[in-house]
Amino acid sequence: MNTAEKTTATNKNRYAIVTGGSRGLGFETAIGLLKAGISVVIIGKDPERAKNAAAKLNEIANSVTNNSNNSEPDQKLFVQARVVDVADAKRFREVLAEISKSFGVPEVLMLAHGVMSEKMSKTLRTTDEEWRRVLAINLDAVFIALNQVVPAMADARNGRVVVYSACLGRMSGPGNAGGLAPYRISKAGVNALVRNLAHETGMGARGLLVDAICPNHSRTDMGGPDAPRSAQEGAQTAIWLATRNFEPGKDQTGLLWEDNQVVPW
């Protein structure tokens, strides 16, 4: 543990783990969490990109801290970055364990990593390699993060789990079938995983919320420059879910959301 980690690990700050936090939707989500007063540990695959993203997020964290009315030194927001390929299951789990050891139980687990499958990856044309690549990142890594981090959050009876999914993973509605098979199926698996975990942990009654979001088509490396939404717009629902007030028995969790509204599975 380095000096910075020793300092932040003992402070009283709330913090979030944000996978895919070095770019696109994950980066914009990290910004929103910082502005809500939640420190962040971002996870990215590329070392240089993660370093640059952390530097930018630190500027935002300092601005939020300096503009707040809280003068307590142990309440200063912090930003840390970790580098790992989430497709490397063993190493990903180790990094998550290291983060929890350094900073304690997170209040928010934000899973914003993901990849698109090849355009022609229909079920009967997808190779073993393409299937494994997409499922390893989009579904397996989500399971690993939930399995590694959420037990302590559930025990603490306080936490928000938000997973970036996609409307293409629904079983109903327009445009829910045909083509991009690994991607669609991986996101359908994410939706099912979120629903199952929410039921296993009490549907919010025990203080843990578990939800998936559809960010819609956003301007990211995956979505392309011509997408109708900015990455900031695509991240808004995730930030809302991570910070919303929740009343058990009245409000809902364990669902797929788009624009702060429930989307039918």
**DSSP per-residue codes, the chain:** --HHHHHHHTS---EEEEETTTSHHHHHHHHHHHHTT-EEEEEES-HHHHHHHHHHHHHHHHHHHHHSS---GGG---EEEEE--TT-HHHHHHHHHHHHHHH-S-SEEEE----PPPTT--TTT--HHHHHHHHIIIIIHHHHHHHHHHHHHHHHT-EEEEEE--GGG-SSSTT-SSS-HHHHHHHHHHHHHHHHHHHHTTTTTTSEEEEEE---SBSSTTT-TT-SB-HHHHHHHHHHHHH----TTTS--SSEEETTEE---
**Spans of the chain, pLDDT less than 70:** 1-13, 69-75, 120, 173-177, 217-224, 227-228
* pTM of structure: 0.90
Average per-residue pLDDT for the chain? 88
Distance in angstroms (rounded) separating the CA atoms of residues 260 and 242: 11
Q: Residue 67: its pLDDT value, please?
A: 83
Q: Residue 222: its pLDDT value, please?
A: 65
- Both structure tokens of 44: 């990215």
Tell me the CA distances in angstroms from 214 to 60, 132, 195, one per residue in order: 26, 23, 14
Q: Residue 4: its pLDDT value, please?
A: 39
The ranges assigned to domains in the chain are 14-262
Q: Residue 230: its pLDDT value, please?
A: 76
| CATH superfamily placement of domain 14-262 | NAD(P)-binding Rossmann-like Domain (3.40.50.720)
Burial (CB count <10 Å: 0-12, 13-18, 19+), residue 175: exposed
- Both structure tokens of 104: 């304690």
